[in-house]
């Protein structure tokens, strides 16, 4: 699992400790990451405005971001004359605040064909916090 930090700055040390105990199956990068998976260059960040800026460079095949808790798959024109895909998986944990319940979503990606599908988990009743 490749993980970047979101805007909950409460416990980055705990995340780092989890990574150390994972025997390499959980990698924490901090604020952003550049990865190469399946022959694709991927940039990962929490913030969509930062992701959009990186998509515009044309230096990456895929940009992954979060923050909004809304799943989306968008193709952005870049300065190299092509397009870069920006995906936001939404939130697999949901957002549960008074009057706000978001779907539990994640993205299924095929990096070879560069196709993406928003998947939704069944939502169980949750207590209101």
Average pLDDT by stretches of 10, the chain with 129 residues:
82 83 90 96 97 98 94 97 97 74 90 96 65
Predicted TM-score of the model (pTM): 0.86
> Domain 31-92 in CATH: superfamily?
Metallo-dependent phosphatases (3.60.21.10)
What pLDDT, on the 0 to 100 scale, is given for residue 45? 97
Q: Where are the domains of the chain?
A: 31-92
What pLDDT, on the 0 to 100 scale, is given for residue 126? 57
* Tokens describing residue 51: 């992701």
What pLDDT, on the 0 to 100 scale, is given for residue 125? 62
Buried b (16+ CB within 10 A) or exposed e, 34-60: ebeeeeeebbbbbbbebbbebbbebeb
CA dihedral 47, 88, 62, 112 (to 10 degrees): 160
């Amino acid at each position: 699992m490749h993980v970047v930090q979101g805007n909950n700055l409460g416990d980055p040390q705990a995340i780092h400790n989890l990574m150390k105990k994972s025997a390499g199956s959980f990698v924490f990068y901090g604020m952003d990451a550049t990865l190469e998976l399946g022959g694709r260059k991927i940039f990962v960040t929490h913030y969509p405005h930062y992701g959009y800026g990186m998509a515009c460079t044309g230096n990456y095949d895929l940009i992954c971001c979060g923050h909004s808790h809304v799943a989306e798959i968008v193709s952005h024109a870049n300065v190299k004359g092509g397009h870069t895909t920006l995906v936001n998986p939404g939130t697999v944990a949901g957002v549960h605040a008074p009057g706000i319940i978001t779907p539990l979503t994640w993205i299924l990606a095929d990096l070879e064909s560069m196709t993406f599908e928003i998947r939704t988990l069944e939502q169980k009743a949750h207590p209101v916090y």
